[in-house]
Amino acid sequence: MIEEKILFERGNVYIHERPVTDSKGTALDEIGGTIFLVENERGKILRFIPLGLENTNYAVTDEWAMVNGHSVISYNKNGNSDSESLSFNNSPLLKYRFQFRLHDLRNIRRHHTLHGIAHMIFILKDGTTLPAFYFHLGGSKNLLQQIAQYLRLEKSIQDSRLYIIKDALPSEPKENVQAASTFDQLHLFDNGNDSMSRFKFGHDSRRTTMERFSKVTHFLRDAFLGQNDITSTGDNEDGGITPDFNSLLESFNGSCDLRESNNDGFEVIYKVDFKKLPDVTRCAPITIKEWQALFDKNGKIMDPDSVKVRIFRGGLENSLRKDGWKFLLNYYPWDSTEKSRIDITKQKQNEYFSMKLQWRSMTEQQKQRNNLFRDRESLIEKDVMRTDRTLEYFQGEGNIHLELLHDILMTYNMYNFDLGYVQGMNDLLSPVLIVMDNEVDAFWCFVGLMDRMGDNFHMDQSHIKRQLSNLHTLLQFIDAELANYLAENNSSNMYFFFRWMLICFKREFSFQDVLLLWEVIWTNYPCKNFDLLVCLAILISQKTVIMESQFGCNEILKHINDLSFKVQLEPLLRQAEGLYILLKKHEESTPGLPPVISSIMFPNMKKKKIRNFNDDDDDESDATSTISSTSSRTHSPSYGPVRVRHHTDSHTINENDSAVVTHTS
């Protein structure tokens, strides 16, 4: 047994996790335990022990760090003797037993509110993000002070709640990075206008910048700076117009970034500001009474567009999802009447059982002559048995719902044999079956879902790769600094979002949050690529942690994966919509968005013609000033009407959105 010295101990520490059950089958909404800081021959160790595992031997292996699972097999060599022992523990609480060495720590986030419960989040060098530890009876500050005795902590300039472990930073030489960081911290350009620090100049900064601006012709004056922001210019010796560099820089607000893009032969400079997002409005889910009022006397939805916007704003109550999803997933046409829906249901039943009979009536000899069918059937059987078994709906041996899941996937394999079955489809079907609780309805809703997402499952993965590429393109425009950092660390392919995009966040949020997020995305409001903005909002919220921790490719991947079930959905949806509002404002201004951005977000919007100042003067209506975000107003976006119960909150994209959000009604 390894001897240990306890340096810090605090009980009544909790992990607020998805509901789990203990070894006795009792439901637990939170996992309580004790957090320790101990010292032994391996160094200083931070450890969390859930209640019920107090007698677990933590010295059983030399390299025990963390348990991620519902069981563990432990090997123990007893001191200097030759005796050995093997132990097995299958407690469901084992996955919440954590331990790591202090020198493996990369940073600490401590959230503390005046009347709330303080909590701490630990992020390791490899990108592992542990769950938040809530100190119900205090002690988080004492723990932070204790850690500070052994590690050099530095509070982040960007986020006062983030503490960077300086002693744990990589040892490889980074002279240029260190120098830049030092100059930034000295605030040498802190004079109210930091435009100079936002340009990445070459060896001759003035020449480089002048060369860039010289490519922008006369329309720069009006189209980008606005009628009231015309900069003075002087004639050069060649008789051309040369912008005055200093006044041009000063004309841009220091809080905005500049982007370059080639537009019809011109190198256009865009003024962008996505740091402060506009306030947006979300509301409570649609109620049964409200839903019933949406139909006319024939059972036809009177205004489908307003219904979609209303669903986007707040979602549906659980009891309404069975009906609402049939519209969202094209089981029922939006203009159908109550009578026509009865006929549709009968027709769908006949079609389904006809297809189901095709594969159920196949003989073993027929299957043996169809290798592809046989392989898919085997894969479906394996995947079904491990689909959401922690959910009550699929628990237990011989579960009838697992049989339905199997039959629906097998029938879809016959319905769309070209695509067939691919792993991940079971994840998409599971919530649909739970909501519908009917084999036929679940199948046809799943067909509608696969009509939306089927491209994700093509073998060449071209669609997913294109979406990830679009994601990085958007990030380059919205947050060039973060995009450049990812590129420098071999992460510009955005593969850490692959699972998120493949199964539409199915494993990243709680079950109820997934239902809400899906129906929000299915409305196609405010745009068909809203899921990309959701990804961007999550990524940008982690910018400070990723960059100040100097995460590399592997650490970024691990950190993003560890965000599962740790992101609050409602703030995220507001942030994603805030990004959309600013993008749309840029698109509707002159010169609009860069064509590559516009093609991703607004493929059907007619592009404005950039005014050529050699054209006639009567074309001046095409020129408007470049926009910047307005953060003091609550926006009612122009993409549709909505009846809401208003509640708003001002916000920016940052990691602190996991804290309590205060609403004003």
Backbone angles phi, psi at 388, to 5 degrees: 45, 45
H-helix or E-strand spanning residue 39: strand 31-40
Residues 439 and 473: beta-carbon distance below 8 Å: no
Q: What is the average per-residue pLDDT within 598-606?
A: 84
Burial pattern 159-192, b for ≥16 Cβ within 10 A else e, equals bebbbbbeebbeeeeeeeeeeeeeeeeeeeeeee
Q: Within 10 A of 123 (CB to CB), how many other CB atoms are there?
A: 26
Checking if the pLDDT of 430 tops 60, the result is: yes
Backbone angles phi, psi at 34, to 5 degrees: -125, 140
Computed over every residue of the chain, the mean pLDDT equals 76
Instruction: Give the pLDDT mean for 109-114.
Output: 79
Query: Which amino acid belongs to residue 336?
Result: S
Question: What is the share, in percent, of the chain residues with pLDDT greater than 90?
Answer: 48
Residue 3 and residue 73 in contact, taking contact as beta carbons nearer than 8 Å: no
Please state the rounded mean pLDDT for residues 128-143: 89
Encode pLDDT of 67-106 as tens digits. Answer: 334 444 444 444 444 544 444 445 667 778 888 999 889 8
Q: pLDDT value at position 16? A: 81
- From residue 1, alpha-carbon distances to 48, 187, 281, 402, 509 in Å are 19, 52, 58, 46, 40
Question: 271 is written with which tokens?
Answer: 């003024």
Best CA proximity match to 472, nearest among 489, 455, 454: 489
Residue range 612-645, pLDDT digits in tens: 434 444 433 333 333 333 333 344 454 544 434 3
Beta strands in 348-486, from DSSP E residues, in sequence order? none
Top pLDDT among 430 and 276 is at 430
Q: Which helix (DSSP H) or strand (DSSP E) does residue 319 occupy?
A: none
Are the C-beta atoms of residues 494 and 472 closer than 8 Å to each other?
yes
Residue 188 has pLDDT above 70, yes or no: no
**pLDDT given for residue 270 in this prediction:** 58
Mean pLDDT of the region 542-552: 91
Q: Whole-prediction pTM value?
A: 0.67
Span 376-399, average pLDDT: 93
pLDDT band, residue 542 (cuts 50/70/90): very high
* Locus of tokens 């390894």: 2
**pLDDT value at residue 57:** 56
- Condensed to tens digits (0 to 9), the pLDDT of residues 313-346 reads 999 999 999 999 999 999 999 999 999 999 999 9
- Residues written for the chain: 665
- The model's confidence at residue 191, banded by pLDDT at 50, 70 and 90, is very low
Name the token pair of 567: 């992101």
Q: Considering only residues 170 and 600, tell me which one the structure prediction assigns the higher pLDDT.
A: 600
Question: Is 133 in contact with 48 (CB distance < 8 Å)?
Answer: yes
Least confident piece of the model among 269-278, 427-436, 596-605: 269-278
For the cut 90, the answer to whether the pLDDT of residue 411 exceeds it is: yes
Let me know if 275 is exposed, middle or buried by CB neighbors in 10 A (0-12, 13-18, 19+).
middle
Return the residue matching tokens 């997934």. 514
Integer distance in angstroms from the first to the last C-alpha of the chain? 59
Give 229 or 161, the one with higher predicted confidence: 161
Indicate if the pLDDT at residue 484 is higher than 70: yes
**Spatial distance between the Cα atoms of 166 and 354, rounded to a whole number of angstroms:** 66
Cis status, amide bond into 526, omega within 30 of 0: yes
Here the tokens at position 281 are 């409005």
Could you list the beta-strand ranges (E) of 83-142.
Answer: 84-89, 98-101, 105-111, 119-124, 133-135
Distance from C-alpha of 251 to C-alpha of 46, rounded to nearest angstrom: 52
**Is residue 589 pLDDT above 50, yes or no?**
yes
Query: Does residue 102 contact residue 43 with C-beta atoms inside 8 Å?
Result: yes
Q: What is the pLDDT of residue 577?
A: 96
Span 10-61, pLDDT tens digits: 998 998 865 444 444 454 568 899 999 999 888 899 999 988 887 665 443 4
